[in-house]
């Protein structure tokens, strides 16, 4: 699990390999990641967009960008948290992701980027 705070917004990420949905013989490795977004600031914020860089060892980088997270643009009051689970597939058993969320401070409409800490996507047997 990794965490990072940017402008009072804390992002925590936990990953899990999904062997039941993976097929190593076909170079298909599936991972899920749980994200917790906590508003530790004094202002209400809204998540507008996401931007991901997905690194697949020996296969390059994919970029994913879009509105919200899993179809939502959550609004977080001070002290609120939002959790969601999403997934990523790789062609190798080792990779990582990093990214940013574009947030809006509701009181004045100021947009700012919140960093998502880089997190590893590793099949457990690689850790032995």
Give the mean pLDDT of the chain: 96
What is the per-residue pLDDT for 111? 98
Instruction: Give how far Cα 81 sits from Cα of 47, 64, 93, 125, Å.
Output: 12, 23, 31, 33
| For the chain, domain boundaries | 2-122
Which tens digits make up the pLDDT trace of 24-82? 999 999 999 999 999 999 999 999 999 999 999 987 899 999 999 999 999 999 999 99
Nearest to 82 by CA among 37, 25, 21, 28: 37
Q: Which residue has the tokens 């977004």?
A: 37
Q: Evaluate whether 57 touches 120 at the Cβ level (below 8 Å).
A: no
CA distance 56 to 46: 30
Model confidence band, residue 126 (pLDDT cutoffs 50, 70, 90): confident
CATH of domain 2-122: 2.60.40.1470
What is the per-residue pLDDT for 65? 97
Instruction: Give how far Cα 63 sits from Cα of 43, 53, 79, 84, Å.
Output: 30, 5, 31, 20
CA distance 100 to 40: 17
Q: Evaluate whether 2 touches 120 at the Cβ level (below 8 Å).
A: no
């Amino acid at each position: 699990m990794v965490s990072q705070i940017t402008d009072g917004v804390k992002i925590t990420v936990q990953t899990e390999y999904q062997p039941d949905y993976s097929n190593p013989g076909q170079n298909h490795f599936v991972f899920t990641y749980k994200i917790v977004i906590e508003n530790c600031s004094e202002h209400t914020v809204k998540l507008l967009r996401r931007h991901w860089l997905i690194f697949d060892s020996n296969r390059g980088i994919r970029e994913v960008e879009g509105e919200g997270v899993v179809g939502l643009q959550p609004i977080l009051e001070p002290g609120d948290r939002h959790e969601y689970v999403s997934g990523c597939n790789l062609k190798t058993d080792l990779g990582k992701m990093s990214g940013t969320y574009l947030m809006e401070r509701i009181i004045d409409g100021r947009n700012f980027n919140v960093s998502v800490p880089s997190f590893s996507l590793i099949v457990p047997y690689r850790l032995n």
